[in-house]
Amino acid sequence: MNWNEFWIPIKLSLQVSVLSSLIVVLLGVAAAWWMSQKSFKGKTLLETAFMLPLVLPPTVVGFILLVLLGRKSWFGQWVEWLFAAPIIFSWWAAVIASIVVAFPLVYQTMKVGFSSVDRRLEEAARSTGANEWQVFRHITLPLTYRSLVSAYILGFARGLGEFGATLMIAGNIPGKTQTIPTAIFVAVDAGNMTMAWAWTGAMIIISFIMLLLTRQRE
């Protein structure tokens, strides 16, 4: 049992999951709140696009991201010029993959949460002179606290377990982009069942702790 080899993917997975879940919650909350306040032509098409990564195979999502972020795309070239390194096959690529695949879950959870808010409370706050940001911060967001916690847990868990899209754009570079799911895949493929079971146990423990903290919070 190589303990140094064991801890590296766990550390990277937690790093990717924490950062991606924070970003995707911010994006999901903003998108869900904006969509709940607006009515316009093409809204159904836009919402369908938001939910598309949920039903697409992860490899398809990964291929699209590879094309969009690759060194031949204008965005990939701009990032490489700005940071003197390509974004693909880096741990930031794993973060982006986790954000994309987790966004539909976070968006849908927050959309349900915002739809359950009593609009009369928001209107009462506006009638007293509160602006939209104050209404959102002091009325809407506190009333959707449970949905917000659920959205974060879902975003974290989805990012922690992401495999297909991450493998496509981040690769499986030990010590650099190898997360727990890809490490398990390689270990099983190599017949190293000890390491595979160890990483599987780590995934179960991390997920159990997240769910336990949520239950205690409730």
Q: What's the whole-model pTM score?
A: 0.88
Flag whether pLDDT at 51 surpasses 70. yes
Query: 85 vs 105, which has greater pLDDT?
Result: 105
Q: What is the pLDDT of residue 14?
A: 92
* Pairwise CA distance, residues 117 & 99, whole Å: 26
**Mean pLDDT of all residues belonging to the chain:** 87
Mean pLDDT of 208-217: 74
CB 87, CB 93: distance < 8 Å = yes
- 144-175 in b/e burial notation, b at 16+ Cβ within 10 A? beebbbbbbbbbbbbbbbbbbbbbbbbbbeee
74-84 pLDDT tens trace? 888 888 888 77
Flag whether pLDDT at 218 surpasses 70. no
Q: What is the pLDDT of residue 200?
A: 93
Kindly calculate the radius of gyration of the chain based on its CA atoms and give it in whole angstroms: 20
Flag whether pLDDT at 217 surpasses 70. no
88-138 pLDDT tens trace? 888 889 999 999 999 999 999 999 888 888 888 888 888 888 888 888 888
> Which residue, 146, 215, 210, 214, is CA-closest to 13?
210
| CB contact set of 153 (below 8 Å; sequence gap of 6+) | 210, 211, 214
Q: What is the pLDDT of residue 216?
A: 62
Q: What is the pLDDT of residue 140?
A: 87
177-209 pLDDT tens trace? 889 999 999 999 888 899 999 999 999 998 888
Flag whether pLDDT at 215 surpasses 80. no
